[in-house]
Amino acid sequence: MPDATTKPQLHVLLAGPRGFCAGVDRAIKIVEEAIRQYGAPVYVRHEIVHNRFVVESLERQGAVFVEELDEIPDNGKPVVFSAHGVPKSIPSEAERRKMFYLDATCPLVSKVHREAEHHHARGRHILMIGHDHHPEVIGTMGQLPDGCVTLVEDEAQARLVQPPAGQPLAFITQTTLSVDDTAEMVRILTQRFPDIAAPAKEDICYATTNRQAAVKEIAPRADLMIVVGAPNSSNSLRLVEVAQRAGVARSIMVQRGRDLDLALLEGVRTVGVTAGASAPEVLVEEVLNRLREGYNLRTEEVVVAEEKVIFKLPAALTQPAA
């Protein structure tokens, strides 16, 4: 391994903001606080956020992750619903079984749920822009009866979708989409259906928007963009795509520092580094330490926004029991 005097220089552009958003931070704290107050095990339906490092850390503290409620014994222990949100059938089933549950759904996802209910109450059919099988989409569509929401995944579907005739329309979106892709799909839908009702405030969350904006700022200056995230994380995958479209020669995702092949850095003089909203900063540090094994780093923060959003924990975790 080269020593500090023989290592080549590498300019690192660190995206700001990057990593945890307020919704992810809140969801993790809900699990940790539930374990602290009620003791292990605390059950969590689905990965609390899409990051194995986070999931495994919570497992070591006493969290038990399940996919469905029928995997949980009737032992009075809390069950936490993930940050992505759940269909209405899930809390209904928990109540039927008299389970104590804590809802860690991101408040910005809950906002989209309320929008869907609002449109449905006004007789509108809803077009949801999002990715099929993503838990957030499943949860949002599951707020309403079957058939009330039609999923639109891409521009081709936006051009072809045929909603029920004679019914007023509205659109909502998943919170973790590509800002640019979504804007184009919205343009197509509003051109086809001029009276379609739009969200009062954009559904794509501030954290997704800010992280993509930082990547757009960095990409034209970088030879390689490294996104720290998980392959099942929508917002992380979008960062890889946004970087490619914004002009970087190569954009890759790694989950941990050890996953980074330094051979990919051959010929690279400037590298961008960011992290999806469910990736903790410790994993960014792992990637930087991995880079230091082969290079002398000169780091530069590229900050496009300051984030000061904080979401409160559920009252069940902050108020004394009656």
The residues annotated with a catalytic role in the active site are: 136
Calculate the dihedral angle through the C-alpha atoms of 184, 188, 193, 197, rounding to the nearest 10 degrees.
-10
Task: Give buried/exposed letters for 196-206 (b at 16+ CB in 10 A, else e).
Answer: bbebeeebbbb
- Location of structure tokens 């957030």: 136
Token duo for residue 219: 């990409």
- Location of structure tokens 């449905």: 120
